[in-house]
């Protein structure tokens, strides 16, 4: 039985390293695809479901209030809101448009 030469040892080590790198790349790609699929499936479901926690509800409420506060409000709508919510007068004062 002949002894392996240094060249054969180097080839064997190179093949082992190449296989290890290929396996590592395959695992990394598989994990990345799994994460991408999980996000693609979970994100629409999370956005479609009703907001559950009080903190999330408060965030949605604040975001909605901010976006509504950027819109102009007709004077009649402002008067109706002021009758309904008198404490919000300072919020509505700057947004009136008389059409």
**Has this prediction a pTM greater than 0.75?**
no
User: Which secondary structure element, helix H or strand E, spans residue 91, and what is its range?
Assistant: helix 89-92
pLDDT, mean over the chain: 77
Spatial CA neighbour of 62 closest among 51, 73, 72: 51
Question: Which burial class, exposed, middle or buried, applies to 39 when counting CB atoms under 10 A from its CB (0-12, 13-18, 19+)?
Answer: exposed
Average pLDDT over residues 41-68: 75
Coil, helix or strand at residue 29: helix
The tens digit of pLDDT for each residue in 58-88 reads 887 887 777 666 666 677 777 777 777 777 6
The confidence score (pLDDT) of residue 88 equals: 66
| Per-residue tokens: 44 | 């629409």
Q: Domain-by-domain residue ranges, the chain?
A: 1-49, 53-99
**CA-closest candidate to residue 85, choices 99, 67, 65:** 65
- Which position has the higher pLDDT, 30 or 9? 30
E-strand spans in the chain?
A: 73-74, 96-97
């Amino acid at each position: 039985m002949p002894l392996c030469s240094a060249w054969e040892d180097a080839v064997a080590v190179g093949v082992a390293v190449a296989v290890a790198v290929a396996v590592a790349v395959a695992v990394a790609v598989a994990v990345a695809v799994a994460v991408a699929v999980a996000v693609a499936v979970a994100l629409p479901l999370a956005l479609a479901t009703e907001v559950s926690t009080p903190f999330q509800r408060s965030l949605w409420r604040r975001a909605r209030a901010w976006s509504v506060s950027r819109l102009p409000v007709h004077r009649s709508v402002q008067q109706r809101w002021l009758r309904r919510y008198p404490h919000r007068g300072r919020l509505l004062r700057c947004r009136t448009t008389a059409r």
